[in-house]
């Protein structure tokens, strides 16, 4: 098979690393990729939202499968674009059509979906400028803390949690009236606050059946002890000790199966990955969010634990034969730490030379924000490189990850030294 993988982060490097191991693969292209993905296939200078450019490339190279890493092209309808084109519509796309990608693209859509299909989630109401006064009243009727969510995609920044009523009302106003998150906050979901511990579940589905992938926990805050502003993710661990057999069974029975069945009932054809952001409250799972793709940096901890040939699974999705497969999971623990640029998640500098990745032993190195400049690997983003280790237990995996993370250096490098601290 000739596969084009879209994206340029650590998630895509981990997927590319796994895809490249398949005997079914003839050639892998990554568009646009990063310095790390070029070791798994050929990077091509494609922008993930340039559908015409992607079309030309796919037809020119005889690509037989498109794997979409990030959410943006899915929400913008890349799968629909392929279906509508007589020359592309036989080429399978891993990633849902736009209507189904709304599970991530619209919080209000996702909440309505969950309510319709009896999937446990926080109570909520949605407001816009036309009923903003009812929004003030509703917020006033809740107890703190207050959870406000921009309806649309806001680069992971659209959820605001306010500790007191005055700041919640002010924030709500800024989102709805002052377009704090642009068009994404024209609608705002106001939600009951749930108190518990979070983890993420993942499935791959062909729209008929599904396979549950290993679960993971990620660390979103920049600072140790889960302090400071949110980031794209500073590390991850899989499996998650508190997600025991009993809890995972509830997740499958109450969340995963009803979601896949709900998509079918609603006539939403879904081929690809579903990410479930979960919170465990008194032993029970509630859905915090859906994503229409894999998470980053969860993928870096999930993919190395999957023993199956990933291309074989992707092919089964395309052929709607996923039901004939089962997931084989490594019983060990995977631990990932993300090395980031100084200043991230605020402003940071790019172009710093990265050294030491060659001396890593016993860990995997997944590039995120890197590129090659004048023959050197340099930083090209806030999240730069993920170091991942698979060990018999969390202690061993973390020890290997931290030993190797120290070896990779660049000016302003920062990473959290407490991944897994709460497990
Ligand atoms: P999201 O972008 O929807 O994943 O939300 C970002 C973060 O906000 C989540 O990872 C949670 O930590 C928190 N959060 C979202 N919704 C709730 C809620 N209803 N109750 C408590 N925390 C929440």
pLDDT digits (tens, 9 = 90+) for 351-360: 999 999 999 9
131 φ, ψ (degrees, to nearest 5): -125, 35
pLDDT in tens, 234-291: 999 999 999 999 999 999 999 999 999 999 999 999 999 999 999 999 999 999 999 9
pLDDT in tens, 381-416: 999 999 999 999 999 999 999 999 999 999 999 999
The H or E element that residue 15 is part of is: helix 10-19
Give the position, in ligand 1's atom list, of the atom nearest the Cα of 191. 19
Q: Is 191 in the pocket of ligand 1 (CB under 6 A)?
A: yes
User: What separation in Å is there between the alpha carbon of 221 and the centre of ligand 1?
Assistant: 12
The residue count for the chain: 423
User: What separation in Å is there between the alpha carbon of 180 and the centre of ligand 1?
Assistant: 18
Q: Give the list of residues 6+ apart from residue 383 with CB closer than 8 angstroms, or none.
A: 9, 10, 231, 232, 233, 297, 338, 339, 340, 341, 344, 368, 369
pLDDT at residue 156 is higher than 80: no
Cβ neighbours of 374 (radius 10 Å): 6
pLDDT in tens, 165-191: 999 999 999 999 999 999 999 999 999
Nearest CA to ligand 1 atom 8: 159
Task: Evaluate the CA torsion angle 128, 129, 131, 134 in order and state its sign.
Answer: positive
Nearest CA to ligand 1 atom 11: 288
Cα 260–Cα 264–Cα 266 angle in degrees, nearest 5: 115
Cβ neighbours of 318 (radius 10 Å): 18
Which of 104, 106, 147, 159 is the best mutation target for the ligand 1 pocket, counting ligand atoms within 8 Å of the beta carbon and taking the most? Answer: 159
Determine if the pTM surpasses 0.85: yes
Q: Is 198 in the pocket of ligand 1 (CB under 6 A)?
A: yes
Task: Evaluate the CA torsion angle 71, 289, 192, 130 in order and state its sign.
Answer: positive
Cβ neighbours of 56 (radius 10 Å): 12
User: What separation in Å is there between the alpha carbon of 129 and the centre of ligand 1?
Assistant: 23
Give pLDDT, residue 103: 98
């Amino acid at each position: 098979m000739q596969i084009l993988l879209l994206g340029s982060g650590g998630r895509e490097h981990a997927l590319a690393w796994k895809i490249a191991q398949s005997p079914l693969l003839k050639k892998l292209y990554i568009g646009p990729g990063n310095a790390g993905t070029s070791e798994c296939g050929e990077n091509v200078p494609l922008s993930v939202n340039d559908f015409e450019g992607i079309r030309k490339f796919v037809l020119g190279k005889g690509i037989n499968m498109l794997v979409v890493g990030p959410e943006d092209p899915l929400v913008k309808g890349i799968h629909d674009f392929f279906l509508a084109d007589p020359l592309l519509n036989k080429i399978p796309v891993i990633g849902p059509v736009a209507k189904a990608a709304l599970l991530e693209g619209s919080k209000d859509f996702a909440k309505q979906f969950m309510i319709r299909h009896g999937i446990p989630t926080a109570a909520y109401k949605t407001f816009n400028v036309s009923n903003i006064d009812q929004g003030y009243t509703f917020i006033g009727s809740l107890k703190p803390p207050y959870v406000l969510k921009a309806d649309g995609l806001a680069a992971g920044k659209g959820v605001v949690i306010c500790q007191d009523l005055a700041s919640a009302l002010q924030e709500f106003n800024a989102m709805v009236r002052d377009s704090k998150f642009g068009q994404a906050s024209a609608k705002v979901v106001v939600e009951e606050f749930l108190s518990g511990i979070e983890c993420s579940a993942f499935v791959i589905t062909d729209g008929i059946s599904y396979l549950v992938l290993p679960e993971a926990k990620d660390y979103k805050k920049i600072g140790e002890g889960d302090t400071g502003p949110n980031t794209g993710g500073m590390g991850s661990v899989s499996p998650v000790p508190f997600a025991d057999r009993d809890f995972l069974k509830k997740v499958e029975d109450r969340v995963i199966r009803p979601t896949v069945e709900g998509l079918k009932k609603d006539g939403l054809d879904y081929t690809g990955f579903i990410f479930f952001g979960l919170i465990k409250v008194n032993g029970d799972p509630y859905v915090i969010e859906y994503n229409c793709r894999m998470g980053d940096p969860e993928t870096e901890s999930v993919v190395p634990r999957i023993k199956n040939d990933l291309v074989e699974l992707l092919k089964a999705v395309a052929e709607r034969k996923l039901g004939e497969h089962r997931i084989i999971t490594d019983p060990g623990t995977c631990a990932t730490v993300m090395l980031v640029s100084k200043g991230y998640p605020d402003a940071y500098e790019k172009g710093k030379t990265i050294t030491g990745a060659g001396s890593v032993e016993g860990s995997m190195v997944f590039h995120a924000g890197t590129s090659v400049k004048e023959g050197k690997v340099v930083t090209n983003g806030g999240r730069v490189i993920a170091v991942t280790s698979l060990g018999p237990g969390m202690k061993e995996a973390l020890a290997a990850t931290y030993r190797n993370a120290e070896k990779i250096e660049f000016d302003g490098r920062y990473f959290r030294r407490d991944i897994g601290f709460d497990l």
